[in-house]
Amino acid sequence: MLGRGLKRKLSDYEENMAGLSSAFDSSRSLPYPLKRQLVLNMCLTKLQTYKMLVEPNLHRSVLIANTVRQIQEEMRQESNQQPVNICPGIAPSSHSYTGMESSGISLQLPSGISQQESSCCDLRSVEDPIENSLLIVSDDDMSSAISSILKDLDFVEDISPPTCLVPTGDDQPKFLESTGLKLEDDRQDLKGAECVFGSFEISNSTSYLKDLAIDDIFEDIDTSMYDSDFSCPPLMPPRSPSLAAEEPLKNFPSCNSSSASNIQICRTDLSELDHIMEILVGS
């Protein structure tokens, strides 16, 4: 019988997320961009989980998508105002947008902390400026992630269904093509039997949905905080951190120019972030 959704089992991942969110709530010294990145990651995790449900909750999905858009907009404004990176040690007040180059900074963790300790923070070598700049989540990819989720919600609700949103392949172009079809069907709005059977026919070749690899949609998004060790729902193919680093590389050639200045920033920030990470990992 098709279940209502996948049960999230309590895992190391969840415990670590709980630790991070209470750190968010209680710590005043957490820099604003780090907080923002944390919230963004939580949002994307939730959206990702909802995508795997047979019937995602529309209300929650919309609220979370709006939060992602809001953060996205903020980051976009920041990068418009400040193309070059700036001084560290910003007060985490909501009014100071002269922040560091947003998420480019937030996950530069010192290589000293061992991988085993923190299962939810993927660690990058500080010495690798290219990798550092790859932690930036691109606007377009976030937008497309939100779009695809909302489109899927529509698809699930208003048109004939997938049997299951299980990603089995890497066929992203096919998915986008079929998305166009779905929108057309949606406008007919399932009034007559012919519409029902029409859309049933199209979706009968549900391969485009089975081909949907969630990872492909999210591949350009920074999932380092929760990617590595935790027991993700088994539907997602495992990805090694190095692979995750390499692929975005292809998509961010423009970031190389700013990478040099990143090194300066991350070195001066090291001790501060080091300290924060010790608190977080220790808790």
Partner 1 sequence: FLGAGGGNDIQWCFSQVKGAVDDDVAEADIISTVEFNHSGELLATGDKGGRVVIFQQEQENKTQSHSRGEYNVYSTFQSHEPEFDYLKSLEIEEKINKIRWLPQKNAAQFLLSTNDKTIKLWKISERDKRPEGYNLKEEDGRYRDPTTVTTLRVPVFRPMDLMVEASPRRIFANAHTYHINSISINSDYETYLSADDLRINLWHLEITDRSFNIVDIKPANMEELTEVITAAEFHPNSCSTFVYSSSKGTIRLCDMRASALCDRHSKLFEEPEDPSNRSFFSEIISSISDVKFSHSGRYMMTRDYLSVKIWDLNMENRPVETYQVHEYLRSKLCSLYENDCIFDKFECCWNGLDRQVHIVMTGSYNNFFRMFDRNTKRDITLEASRENNKPRTVLKPRKVCASGKRKKDEISVDSLDFNKKILHTAWHPKENIIAVATTNNLYIFQDKMN
Q: Which amino acid is at 72?
A: Q
> Which residue among 7, 9, 10, 187 contacts partner 1 (CB under 8 A)?
187
User: Does 268 sit near partner 1 (CB under 8 A)?
Assistant: no
The interface region with partner 1, picked from 35-43, 225-233, 252-260, 264-272 by CB under 8 A, is: 35-43
Asked whether the beta carbons of 117 and 261 are under 8 A apart, the reply is no
User: Does 114 sit near partner 1 (CB under 8 A)?
Assistant: no
Which residue, 110 or 161, is less far from partner 1 as judged by CB? 161
How far is the CA of 207 from the CAs of 103, 203, 232, in angstroms? 36, 8, 24
Can you tell me the distance from the alpha carbon of 112 to that of 124, in angstroms, rounded to the nearest whole number? 10
Which residue, 127 or 189, is less far from partner 1 as judged by CB? 189
Can you tell me the distance from the alpha carbon of 112 to that of 278, in angstroms, rounded to the nearest whole number? 11
> Which residue among 90, 113, 130, 150 contacts partner 1 (CB under 8 A)?
150
User: Does 22 sit near partner 1 (CB under 8 A)?
Assistant: yes
> Which residue among 48, 85, 160, 228 contacts partner 1 (CB under 8 A)?
160
Which residue, 36 or 124, is less far from partner 1 as judged by CB? 36
User: Nearest Cα to 223, choosing from 145, 276, 168?
Assistant: 145
Which residue, 93 or 116, is less far from partner 1 as judged by CB? 93
User: Does 158 sit near partner 1 (CB under 8 A)?
Assistant: yes
